[in-house]
Chain A
């Protein structure tokens, strides 16, 4: 098992009486793409700021690359690339100049600055816009320049705070592909915060769910859905043709309930929703057909992050 590159232990941050992050324990392994998922104001950004030593925790400890971020932020920042939410650049400088400035701040030798900046601009697809002032950049271009800037220090960890907000769908896809590619090719650990489920689902190996300062669940998508929907990991929708209307009714519902692993059955018009703890699609199909009903369609529904999210935030919103 790979070592933990990010380790948060009992991390707490308070603003006055408001607790932004509450006793957070989290570890991210080397080379992983980890998604921090949660609604706005859940404490994701605060957690990230604490990882970089930009704000001090109230209690608990943060270790990134084995270094305490609160005590030694400079060393952490040498190893960690951070792309803030809605990153900004000096509008009067060109993309190239902005990038070179950051390269110099990272102590990259003067003779390498130009070459490295050019290489990275090409890598994020901004080679042609290099001499354009960043004031004229679109949101997506700014985000890509931000990524180039994060990479110029050859980081071990990249932290992206809401990197995809405000980019168009194609831009998002390209951006996410770039991140995954990086993580796989260079073995860079990526921590990624978002409130958008689909993006997280597309790229992340593991996900942490964050609600009002607490990490309520952690794991990959499958294990998360198993944790949350322990009895019903799968739902099978079965459409039954109206010609068999008279002889199914309650009868079929009873039959379906008897199948091994089925936990609930509900009916709405001609569609049955069968909840089961294992993948029982084949059994359901067989039973429906052998009961004499006509099976119109059968659809296996897996829980996506959307459902996980809804399930949680339905509850979360009630509390707030």
Chain B
């Protein structure tokens, strides 16, 4: 009997909670400060994000960057369109994904769209974040803003939010623009799967830029001079895009097993080198984008003859492609989170002095 009353009490309690959840006292939108109400002040976090976005969009730096990126997009689109006729070969499993070729093919004079993004993305991220905190400090505005009744982390979070918002809007606009232009010119609409693949590709690019953005925010917290932090960001980028490959090649040559070694040694060595390469974020990104944009890619490591034996050369479905790049995606997000956490900690511990 007591057992039953206990249960009925519990049920009543749960239903009370459910009621509360169903009827929140105030709509969550206004809780977040998303509904502009004239008589109540905006949430300070939103105020900072708004201001940062308008600063970014108005800045010359952003105009220059967007100019470069639009130019490269148009350039790669042009080469893709002029070569798309040669790209279709009979028996190619990628033929079903004709539209995706807009993003991947080139004739060798200009790199394709996704190579451009992987090259320019870091630059974009670094240039949006390298002076996030130190410029505030150097202008003497940091202590002024910090003296307002806001939490300290609002500032760094809002800066990140603002840059990410701008980047997302820009990338989606560019991606859809390329799609739209391609649609108009070649006249073949993308299949839903192609569309989804492109959307995932854009989301992935945003994550990739977010990684570099966070790295440069980290430098901006650590280095007092904006020039130093910009240089630090660019040198990390150059290191990974140029020198890291050289170093890995050197290691590969030095640890190369003899030619007559058993196959498993050679495979192990290949995997080892691939793992080393994957320490670089740009390698992660290019593997992930290749898989997403070229559905015929079915493995990112070496495959033995036994593994390939009997497979039908058909493209992978989207789910399988996503599964394949899941580790890469996780790694990119993990590096992003680590960078952000570090800059967050450093910023929270920083003593805010005037200038």
Contacts and interface: CB of A to CB of B under 8 A. Distances in A.
Interface in B30-48: 36-42, 44, 47-48
Nearest to A149: B144
B147 A54 contact: yes
Interface string B181-210: 000000000000000000000000000000
A87 interface: yes
A111 B139 CA distance: 29
B39 A109 contact: yes
B236 to A, nearest CB: 29
Contacts, number: 97
Interface in B10-69: 36-42, 44, 47-48, 51, 55, 58
Contacts of A49: 351-353
A45 B264 CA distance: 67
Interface stretch (B83-91, B110-118, B148-156, B163-171): B148-156
Given A74-B149, A74-B151, A90-B55, A85 B41 contact: no
A309 interface: no
B140 A84 contact: yes
Interface string A81-96: 1101111111110000
A191 B290 CA distance: 63
Interface centre among B42, B144, B151, B351 (most CB of A within 10 A): B144
Contacts of A106: 41, 44, 148-149
B40 A109 contact: yes
A232 interface: no
Given A45-B353, A104-B42, A84 B47 contact: no
B144 A87 contact: yes
A74 B152 CA distance: 9
B151 A105 contact: no
Nearest to B41: A107
Contacts of B140: 84, 86-89
B59 to A, nearest CB: 8
Contacts of A89: 139-141, 144
A80 B146 CA distance: 12
A52 B355 CA distance: 17
Contacts of B37: 110
B44 A54 contact: no
Nearest to B43: A107
B145 interface: yes
Contact of A88 (B41, B51, B352, B355): B355
A108 B40 CA distance: 7
A88 B146 contact: no
Contacts of A149: 144
A198 to B, nearest CB: 23
Interface of B is mostly: loop
B122 to A, nearest CB: 26
A101 interface: yes
Which of B55, B140, B151, B355 counts the most chain A CB atoms within 10 A?
B140
Contacts of B55: 90, 92
Interface in A277-312: none
A77 B42 contact: no
A292 to B, nearest CB: 63
Nearest to B147: A82
A54 B146 contact: yes
B139 A90 contact: yes
Contacts of B354: 45, 84-87, 161
B286 interface: no
Given A74-B150, A104-B47, A161-B354, A110 B41 contact: yes
B141 A86 contact: no
A14 interface: no
Interface in A64-88: 74-75, 77-78, 80-82, 84-88
Given A77-B149, A89-B141, A55 B351 contact: yes
B95 interface: no
Q: Which of A49, A82, A105, A111 has the most chain B CB atoms inside 10 A of its CB?
A: A105
A18 B144 CA distance: 26
Interface string B329-355: 000000000000000000000011111
A102 interface: yes
B39 to A, nearest CB: 5
B352 A55 contact: yes
B58 A92 contact: yes
8 contacts: A49-B352, A54-B351, A84-B144, A85-B355, A86-B140, A86-B355, A90-B139, A108-B41
Q: Which 4 residue pairs are nearest across A and B when measured between Cβ atoms?
A: A88-B140, A107-B41, A84-B354, A82-B147
